[in-house]
Amino acid sequence: MTEQPPPAPPAHALAVVMRDYLSYGESGMADLKEAVHSVRQKPVIGAFCRHLRQILAGTAPVPTDVINKEFQRRADEETALGDGTPVEPVHYDDQQAYEALADLWEYLDLTPEGEPEGAVTSAKTAVRNRRSQLLWVDGDPVEALKTWMSWRSLALFGAGTVLCTGGWAAYQRIDATLLRSLLLLLTLAGFVMASVGGGALWLRRVRYVNPDAFLPSERKTKEERR
Protein backbone atom coordinates (compact mmCIF):
# COMPACT_ATOMS: atom_id res chain seq x y z
CA MET A 1 0.00 0.00 0.00
CA THR A 2 1.49 3.32 -1.06
CA GLU A 3 1.77 6.11 1.45
CA GLN A 4 -0.41 9.16 0.93
CA PRO A 5 1.43 12.49 0.67
CA PRO A 6 1.07 14.66 3.77
CA PRO A 7 -1.43 17.50 3.53
CA ALA A 8 -0.03 20.87 2.52
CA PRO A 9 0.70 23.19 5.47
CA PRO A 10 -1.71 26.13 5.53
CA ALA A 11 1.00 28.79 5.12
CA HIS A 12 2.52 26.85 2.24
CA ALA A 13 -0.90 26.55 0.55
CA LEU A 14 -1.43 30.30 0.80
CA ALA A 15 2.04 30.98 -0.60
CA VAL A 16 1.40 28.63 -3.53
CA VAL A 17 -1.98 30.20 -4.30
CA MET A 18 -0.51 33.70 -4.19
CA ARG A 19 2.41 32.72 -6.42
CA ASP A 20 0.40 30.73 -8.98
CA TYR A 21 -2.84 32.71 -9.05
CA LEU A 22 -3.20 35.96 -7.11
CA SER A 23 0.02 37.53 -8.39
CA TYR A 24 -1.51 37.67 -11.88
CA GLY A 25 -4.30 40.07 -11.01
CA GLU A 26 -7.81 39.63 -12.41
CA SER A 27 -6.93 36.73 -14.71
CA GLY A 28 -5.29 34.91 -11.79
CA MET A 29 -8.34 35.55 -9.60
CA ALA A 30 -10.60 34.08 -12.27
CA ASP A 31 -8.36 31.01 -12.59
CA LEU A 32 -8.34 30.58 -8.81
CA LYS A 33 -12.13 30.70 -8.64
CA GLU A 34 -12.32 28.07 -11.36
CA ALA A 35 -9.82 25.89 -9.47
CA VAL A 36 -11.78 26.29 -6.22
CA HIS A 37 -15.04 25.22 -7.88
CA SER A 38 -13.46 22.46 -9.94
CA VAL A 39 -15.04 19.02 -9.62
CA ARG A 40 -11.57 17.59 -8.89
CA GLN A 41 -10.13 20.19 -6.56
CA LYS A 42 -6.37 20.14 -6.01
CA PRO A 43 -5.27 19.35 -2.42
CA VAL A 44 -3.36 22.64 -2.12
CA ILE A 45 -6.52 24.54 -3.11
CA GLY A 46 -8.53 22.70 -0.44
CA ALA A 47 -5.86 23.48 2.17
CA PHE A 48 -5.93 27.13 1.13
CA CYS A 49 -9.73 27.33 1.51
CA ARG A 50 -9.62 25.75 4.97
CA HIS A 51 -6.82 28.08 6.05
CA LEU A 52 -8.72 31.09 4.74
CA ARG A 53 -11.76 30.08 6.80
CA GLN A 54 -9.61 29.74 9.92
CA ILE A 55 -8.08 33.19 9.39
CA LEU A 56 -11.44 34.91 8.97
CA ALA A 57 -12.86 33.01 11.96
CA GLY A 58 -9.99 34.23 14.14
CA THR A 59 -8.64 30.76 14.89
CA ALA A 60 -5.47 31.34 12.85
CA PRO A 61 -3.26 34.42 12.70
CA VAL A 62 -3.36 36.71 9.70
CA PRO A 63 -0.39 35.65 7.51
CA THR A 64 0.69 39.21 6.73
CA ASP A 65 4.33 38.20 6.37
CA VAL A 66 3.50 35.53 3.78
CA ILE A 67 1.46 38.03 1.76
CA ASN A 68 4.13 40.74 1.93
CA LYS A 69 6.86 38.27 0.93
CA GLU A 70 4.91 37.43 -2.21
CA PHE A 71 4.47 41.14 -2.96
CA GLN A 72 8.23 41.57 -2.58
CA ARG A 73 9.00 38.56 -4.78
CA ARG A 74 6.68 39.81 -7.49
CA ALA A 75 8.19 43.30 -7.36
CA ASP A 76 11.72 41.87 -7.64
CA GLU A 77 10.62 39.77 -10.61
CA GLU A 78 9.04 42.75 -12.39
CA THR A 79 12.17 44.80 -11.73
CA ALA A 80 14.36 42.11 -13.28
CA LEU A 81 12.10 41.85 -16.33
CA GLY A 82 11.85 45.63 -16.77
CA ASP A 83 14.30 48.34 -17.71
CA GLY A 84 16.05 48.27 -14.37
CA THR A 85 13.78 50.78 -12.62
CA PRO A 86 12.97 49.41 -9.17
CA VAL A 87 9.33 48.42 -8.67
CA GLU A 88 8.00 49.37 -5.26
CA PRO A 89 6.27 46.39 -3.63
CA VAL A 90 2.84 46.64 -2.02
CA HIS A 91 2.97 46.36 1.76
CA TYR A 92 0.00 45.38 3.93
CA ASP A 93 -0.49 45.68 7.64
CA ASP A 94 -2.57 43.09 9.53
CA GLN A 95 -5.86 44.96 9.04
CA GLN A 96 -5.33 45.46 5.31
CA ALA A 97 -4.34 41.80 4.87
CA TYR A 98 -7.45 40.64 6.75
CA GLU A 99 -9.74 42.85 4.65
CA ALA A 100 -8.14 41.62 1.43
CA LEU A 101 -8.66 38.00 2.46
CA ALA A 102 -12.28 38.74 3.41
CA ASP A 103 -12.88 40.24 -0.04
CA LEU A 104 -11.25 37.18 -1.60
CA TRP A 105 -13.57 34.91 0.41
CA GLU A 106 -16.63 36.69 -0.98
CA TYR A 107 -15.26 36.60 -4.52
CA LEU A 108 -14.64 32.85 -4.37
CA ASP A 109 -18.24 32.12 -3.22
CA LEU A 110 -17.24 29.90 -0.32
CA THR A 111 -19.57 28.54 2.35
CA PRO A 112 -18.93 29.21 6.07
CA GLU A 113 -17.25 25.78 6.18
CA GLY A 114 -14.73 26.81 3.51
CA GLU A 115 -16.31 24.67 0.79
CA PRO A 116 -17.33 25.85 -2.69
CA GLU A 117 -20.85 27.26 -2.69
CA GLY A 118 -23.18 24.64 -4.12
CA ALA A 119 -20.48 22.13 -5.03
CA VAL A 120 -22.99 19.55 -6.24
CA THR A 121 -24.84 22.15 -8.30
CA SER A 122 -21.57 23.36 -9.79
CA ALA A 123 -20.67 19.81 -10.77
CA LYS A 124 -24.02 19.26 -12.44
CA THR A 125 -23.72 22.59 -14.25
CA ALA A 126 -20.27 21.66 -15.53
CA VAL A 127 -21.61 18.37 -16.85
CA ARG A 128 -24.56 20.07 -18.53
CA ASN A 129 -22.29 22.63 -20.18
CA ARG A 130 -20.27 19.81 -21.74
CA ARG A 131 -23.33 18.22 -23.33
CA SER A 132 -25.40 19.31 -26.28
CA GLN A 133 -28.28 19.97 -23.86
CA LEU A 134 -30.98 18.87 -26.26
CA LEU A 135 -33.68 18.00 -23.76
CA TRP A 136 -34.73 20.97 -21.71
CA VAL A 137 -34.26 24.63 -20.83
CA ASP A 138 -35.70 26.60 -17.96
CA GLY A 139 -38.87 28.55 -18.64
CA ASP A 140 -41.65 27.94 -21.15
CA PRO A 141 -40.58 25.04 -23.42
CA VAL A 142 -43.02 26.13 -26.15
CA GLU A 143 -41.55 29.64 -26.30
CA ALA A 144 -38.06 28.18 -26.20
CA LEU A 145 -38.92 25.89 -29.12
CA LYS A 146 -40.25 28.84 -31.15
CA THR A 147 -37.06 30.78 -30.42
CA TRP A 148 -34.47 28.30 -31.62
CA MET A 149 -36.47 26.23 -34.11
CA SER A 150 -35.75 26.70 -37.84
CA TRP A 151 -38.62 25.45 -39.98
CA ARG A 152 -36.40 25.29 -43.07
CA SER A 153 -33.95 23.01 -41.29
CA LEU A 154 -36.83 20.96 -39.92
CA ALA A 155 -38.36 20.63 -43.40
CA LEU A 156 -34.98 19.64 -44.84
CA PHE A 157 -34.55 17.04 -42.11
CA GLY A 158 -38.08 15.64 -42.61
CA ALA A 159 -37.83 15.50 -46.39
CA GLY A 160 -34.40 13.92 -46.22
CA THR A 161 -35.62 11.30 -43.76
CA VAL A 162 -38.63 10.38 -45.92
CA LEU A 163 -36.54 10.28 -49.08
CA CYS A 164 -33.81 8.17 -47.47
CA THR A 165 -36.27 5.73 -45.88
CA GLY A 166 -38.44 5.42 -48.98
CA GLY A 167 -35.51 5.11 -51.35
CA TRP A 168 -33.89 2.38 -49.28
CA ALA A 169 -37.15 0.43 -48.93
CA ALA A 170 -37.70 0.57 -52.70
CA TYR A 171 -34.04 -0.32 -53.37
CA GLN A 172 -34.45 -3.60 -51.48
CA ARG A 173 -37.59 -4.60 -53.41
CA ILE A 174 -36.62 -3.73 -57.01
CA ASP A 175 -34.32 -5.93 -59.08
CA ALA A 176 -33.80 -3.66 -62.10
CA THR A 177 -30.17 -2.53 -62.11
CA LEU A 178 -30.81 0.97 -63.48
CA LEU A 179 -33.62 1.67 -61.02
CA ARG A 180 -31.60 0.28 -58.13
CA SER A 181 -28.74 2.65 -58.97
CA LEU A 182 -31.15 5.59 -59.12
CA LEU A 183 -32.81 4.61 -55.84
CA LEU A 184 -29.44 4.21 -54.15
CA LEU A 185 -28.50 7.69 -55.30
CA LEU A 186 -31.80 9.06 -53.94
CA THR A 187 -31.20 7.25 -50.65
CA LEU A 188 -27.77 8.84 -50.29
CA ALA A 189 -29.18 12.25 -51.21
CA GLY A 190 -31.89 11.85 -48.58
CA PHE A 191 -29.35 10.86 -45.97
CA VAL A 192 -27.27 13.96 -46.72
CA MET A 193 -30.35 16.20 -46.55
CA ALA A 194 -31.44 14.71 -43.21
CA SER A 195 -27.91 15.06 -41.81
CA VAL A 196 -27.63 18.71 -42.84
CA GLY A 197 -31.09 19.60 -41.53
CA GLY A 198 -30.65 17.71 -38.27
CA GLY A 199 -27.15 19.10 -37.73
CA ALA A 200 -28.38 22.65 -38.26
CA LEU A 201 -31.17 22.13 -35.71
CA TRP A 202 -28.71 20.66 -33.20
CA LEU A 203 -26.32 23.60 -33.59
CA ARG A 204 -29.14 26.14 -33.16
CA ARG A 205 -30.32 24.32 -30.03
CA VAL A 206 -26.84 24.24 -28.49
CA ARG A 207 -26.21 27.93 -29.24
CA TYR A 208 -29.61 28.80 -27.75
CA VAL A 209 -28.75 27.08 -24.47
CA ASN A 210 -25.14 28.32 -24.41
CA PRO A 211 -24.39 31.34 -26.66
CA ASP A 212 -20.65 30.84 -26.06
CA ALA A 213 -20.65 27.27 -27.37
CA PHE A 214 -17.99 26.51 -29.97
CA LEU A 215 -16.27 29.86 -29.44
CA PRO A 216 -12.46 29.73 -29.05
CA SER A 217 -11.20 29.71 -25.48
CA GLU A 218 -9.57 32.89 -24.15
CA ARG A 219 -7.77 31.21 -21.28
CA LYS A 220 -4.21 32.42 -20.91
CA THR A 221 -1.20 30.51 -19.70
CA LYS A 222 0.92 31.69 -16.81
CA GLU A 223 3.59 32.99 -19.19
CA GLU A 224 1.03 35.04 -21.11
CA ARG A 225 -0.41 36.49 -17.89
CA ARG A 226 3.00 37.81 -16.87
Q: What are phi and psi of 110, to 5 degrees?
A: -100, 150
- pLDDT digit string, tens, across residues 167-181: 899 888 888 778 888
pTM over 0.75: no
Residue 138 pLDDT: 52
- pLDDT on residue 25: 78
Q: Are 137 and 209 in contact (CB under 8 A)?
A: yes
Centre a 10 Å sphere on the Cβ of residue 197 and count the other Cβ atoms it contains: 21
> Phi and psi dihedrals of 116, rounded to 5?
-60, 135
pLDDT at 131: 44
Q: Which residues of 24-62 are buried (b: 16+ CB within 10 A; e: fewer)?
A: beeebeebbbebbbeeeeeebbbbbbbbbbebbeeeeeb
Domain boundaries in the chain?
A: 10-132, 141-209
In this prediction, the residues of the chain whose per-residue pLDDT falls under 50 are 1-8, 119-121, 124-125, 127-136, 222, 226
pLDDT per position as a tens digit, 153-202: 989 999 999 999 998 998 888 887 788 888 889 999 999 999 999 999 88
